[in-house]
Structure 1
């Protein structure tokens, strides 16, 4: 099979592969069974491999379907299936419908239920379609989560259109497709009085007034044929079909009918021919208005809820996109922009869905990788009306068969157990002890026994002493959090470099991508590596696709073979770096190519001049001395805070040391250190 070229775009027939590959003949001559195999394979080639069922197609007949068409039972469904495909069932006399499920409808329903908890009843069927706040939000392009208009292109079109009525949204849904989208600037210019609306013919101008003189809908083609040439509704539908299919003979027949009808009603033949050609052009990609209107209304409903109830709307959207961490990151970023607090996951306050509070969203436990619905439902059920008192109480009340070691580790890494006041590193080191306590509690619960002295588990609970271990560095803690959450939630690794990045004049991704759209072709960015993929190019050389995250979003950049070999070690997941890039604005987005990579820690250490460590006594000094092992250019001083606010004593060390935000972060984690200040 490896001798048959694999080209999905242009599949090679087996006969051609055999003719062009001499090894087939050699193998067939050596083993006759190979020739039998090739003969059978050519007979089977092109036949259906399996029976598949249309995802949404439902057929309806006036009698049992088995009397009209051959039937088949799909083993994956209880519903009978027609053996004829969608083309032939209609010819057999059945009516076919496509019933499509839409996740957005569930988002709307979920948001309405959340709003109802505030005592507010929303009937989406009766909300006003002329709400100024909704159209103002759409005109600003604030459309994260808004159905149909989330893409960068749609956002740009909305900002240009500045919609103020539902008809604008309907037109945009119909126009934003290859072909018709070239008419969006014309629509916008005419809407805002920047361009005069051209007349097609006085008899039909009123039919295209709603769409600024642009023919957008198939219904408009049919109405024009009725008005101008006296078509019946049935004839107009045949015209629409003929124009869509571009059948030459049918088009010639329709042209004769259209032009003669128009001439009879006082339209000149040249103008009638011109209008027919115009209709044929637009009918090629004309959109069904009723379809566009249905989608536009759902789009408006999502926009209305976001404009007036953003907390509930975003929580519902996050719940329905729980498995898509890129979308969750976008929703969370949008929530922060709107001043909505997104609380980190916690076994005390979180549930399976994203829940809402007063201008806040509680992060879902089920959205964490490695946790799962069963574990979350068990934790929430065990919590009930009685919150977990401490970590030991949590361990005793959960079933380790449901909340296993992997779940415990994911909860620790995500910060969902931070509420009990223990350090994440010590909990991770003591996860076996936590599992042991959970197992013992379950065994005793099943047997109905206490310990051998007749006491309850209180003694064991008190004995849940977690191992003493060094806290994780901020970068390590956040990288582990990223692995479970899918993005940086509680903080970002670049936060501690904020002052250094300002001095280095490094742009954020949001700033740079906006600059590229204005014409910039190169820049300097900082980012934390979230993933690295190595691939082979067509020429066989290696290239890297590196994903980065900064405080404004996530982005990708490519790196070719020489650069990949030079910078591979710096581009490991979790490392923070400074990169120089070449950029190109393409239709699918901004494309980046990496030119150079430097360690952000090294770059930041070069510009830091001094480090001040605030302490109350000498207890942490020996531990801190270990952090100052490398000599450098930085000045270090200890500031002793005297008792009862009597002042401070600053002691400057005689030597110079290497200092950086990461070193400062490690020092802050040392017990007894009050604060560390980089200057």
Structure 2
């Protein structure tokens, strides 16, 4: 760079962002879903930057899929900063970097913004420059203006100072310090104060971020947040299309859709397009998501469907070119559920041979120009022939676990359901993190995780002992686990594909090549693995939780207890219930004491959203707590009850 600058050349960085494609695709979906007489035209350049729904979404930390705001760390910063206007987003992106975070500047900024600490300025003359950032110089442009106002630097000289500090050019910094002090003295500032101000500039220059860069990114951040807040179905469909070749990301975004109340549906032969489509709070998988179904076959299907929808499985076979839709394509479409409206998958698979023969005959007749009964609509066929060819609608179906396995095999993830859905509440309270949050965790940090084993690879060490590498998945992501020989020998029986497990472990970072598309960060991607220290079956781990209910004695009467018993009995399970009976401190004979009462095993419960919401309605949220083996969820766990539903 220095050599290029010396000879007068200009360096230009060109950055491609997938997020811009997501925005363009979302706008197309929004336009397609608008009534013709009310065709919606969103002009991004004219979007209001004060949309209440957008800032409500940001303050809630629902930033999955939002440009630059997806990681667990920045989600926490967003919630703490609680943005209320566009300049807060600009500041947010500037603050979420190692320097401001580690130096405490980000925390100081939030405290000043929220009125917890006073706003002060290094010098009264700097108020106009630093007022928008609560007295803290977080942008490089502010540092340039500080040097200009205090010491009379030109903007060129101020930029040289910034570069010298950033690159630690000591000789240039000494010269700049002398010039800065001289300029301050000429402006009536004492030498001592000038040195203090230069020290401030020197400190902040290490953390300052380019405001123009942050503003440009903040605008894309706002656009994506606006679309997610106001057109959630269309935006999430576009987002899913953008990661169509990344099943981990698709799984994360599908779970986000579920939490937003958006139904994600498997592919359907008469409704699916090439990519994900959106309509009425429903997103439909595209045919392009199905393994073994290539673009050529899909385009042939869409072309054949253009005139009218397919009316049956055999109608589909009759109208498609067998050279483009072969046996593998047909079986993959059936297994993925694309033909579910026409019969069971088990029954349809039995008809593949008949369908292929029909396709071949119909294709040959189209080429030869002959006309036979294949040229007629099915309504005109003899009823006996229809019964002979058409699969019975009442054919027995595969078990649910087989259907889910088909989805996993052909779509890369579970769509219609998930083996972990019935354990969602237990996982929410047992686990310290979701698997998609691990990249933001420091190396060596203890984690408590749970999920389904997706893959196991067992190796033999140089000492002849066996160990395993395991891929674990939960409802939001996947993680790589390492199980060393001592633990493997004790827990090998648990390490089987499809088993549901709970583990204690520590994170380990490994450097790899590449980076996230659209992240805007030029750095090697860090792969996070978890070294497992202990393993349990998930069902056994559920018994590690205790449900503790605080009952003020003065509020307890028979109707109250009957309602409590009814709630507990309606959700039988393995989690024990402990009652904290609190005696009011205004009883001088008893004082303010608590009695712990463990209720009988017949009242042990299965944690569900319905149960917890019922208890919170009866007792109040603060009186319903989950304790993990004698340790409160609030102690270093980071995912307490206060974040349910976020």
TM-score with structure 1 length normalisation? 0.67
Q: 2:406 aligns with which of 469, 480, 502?
A: 480
CA distance in 1 between counterparts of 2:252 and 2:192 reads 54
1:453-532 to 2 correspondences below 5 Å: 463-464=388-389, 471-494=397-420, 498=422, 507-508=426-427, 512-513=431-432, 525=450, 527-532=451-456
Distance 1:288 1:447, change over 3 A: same
Secondary structure in 2 aligned to 1:198? coil
Distance 1:529 1:440, change over 3 A: farther
Residue 356 of structure 2: aligned partner: 435
Contact 1:343 1:361 in 2 (8 A): yes
Q: Structure 1 residue 476: deviation in Å?
A: 2.2
Q: Which runs of 5+ in 2 are unaligned?
A: 438-444, 510-525, 544-646
Residue 98 of structure 1: aligned partner: 13
Residue 448 of structure 1: aligned partner: 369
Q: 1:153 aligns with which of 73, 79, 83?
A: 73
CA distance in 2 between counterparts of 1:326 and 1:293 reads 30
Q: Structure 1 residue 456: deviation in Å?
A: 9.5
Distance 1:220 1:533, change over 3 A: farther
Q: Deviations over 1:335-385 (max 9, x none)?
A: 222222222211111101211212221221112222232222221111113
2:233 pairs with 1:311: yes
2:321 pairs with 1:403: no
Residue 177 of structure 1: aligned partner: 97
1:65-84 to 2 correspondences below 5 Å: none
Q: Deviations over 1:202-255 (max 9, x none)?
A: 111331221222221111110001000001122222222222221111111111
Q: 1:111 aligns with which of 26, 29, 38?
A: 26
Distance 1:414 1:185, change over 3 A: same
CA distance in 1 between counterparts of 2:270 and 2:374 reads 32
2:348 pairs with 1:424: no
Q: Structure 1 residue 281: deviation in Å?
A: 2.2
Q: 2:172 aligns with which of 250, 267, 270?
A: 250
- CA RMSD after TM alignment: 3.6
Q: Structure 1 residue 545: deviation in Å?
A: 3.2
Q: 1:576 aligns with which of 483, 488, 499?
A: 499
TM-score with structure 2 length normalisation? 0.70
Distance 1:281 1:114, change over 3 A: same
CA distance in 2 between counterparts of 1:565 and 1:394 reads 53
Residue 259 of structure 1: aligned partner: 181
2:271 pairs with 1:356: no
Contact 2:365 2:371 in 1 (8 A): yes
Q: Answer with 1 or 2: which has the greater Rg.
A: 1
Secondary structure in 2 aligned to 1:209? helix
1:22-421 to 2 correspondences below 5 Å: 91-117=6-32, 118=34, 119-182=39-102, 183-421=105-343
Q: Structure 1 residue 390: deviation in Å?
A: 0.5
CA distance in 2 between counterparts of 1:191 and 1:522 reads 32
CA distance in 2 between counterparts of 1:147 and 1:455 reads 53
Distance 1:591 1:454, change over 3 A: closer
Distance 1:417 1:572, change over 3 A: farther
1:596-611 to 2 correspondences below 5 Å: 596=535, 598=537
CA distance in 1 between counterparts of 2:248 and 2:234 reads 20
Distance 1:580 1:369, change over 3 A: same
CA distance in 2 between counterparts of 1:568 and 1:395 reads 48
Contact 2:502 2:538 in 1 (8 A): no
Secondary structure in 2 aligned to 1:318? helix
CA distance in 1 between counterparts of 2:67 and 2:118 reads 32
Secondary structure in 2 aligned to 1:210? helix
CA distance in 1 between counterparts of 2:290 and 2:155 reads 56
1:556-571 to 2 correspondences below 5 Å: 556-564=480-488, 568=492, 571=495
Q: Deviations over 1:422-455 (max 9, x none)?
A: x223433543443333233223322333569999
Instruction: Count residues in correspondence.
Output: 506
Distance 1:176 1:543, change over 3 A: farther
Q: Which runs of 5+ in 1 are unaligned?
A: 1-85, 605-679
Contact 2:430 2:449 in 1 (8 A): no
Residue 546 of structure 1: aligned partner: 470
Looking at both structures, which has the greater relative contact order when contacts are Cα pairs under 8 Å and sequence separation is at least 6? 2
Q: 2:534 aligns with which of 572, 578, 595?
A: 595
Secondary structure in 1 aligned to 2:417? coil
CA distance in 1 between counterparts of 2:127 and 2:111 reads 18
CA distance in 1 between counterparts of 2:23 and 2:16 reads 13
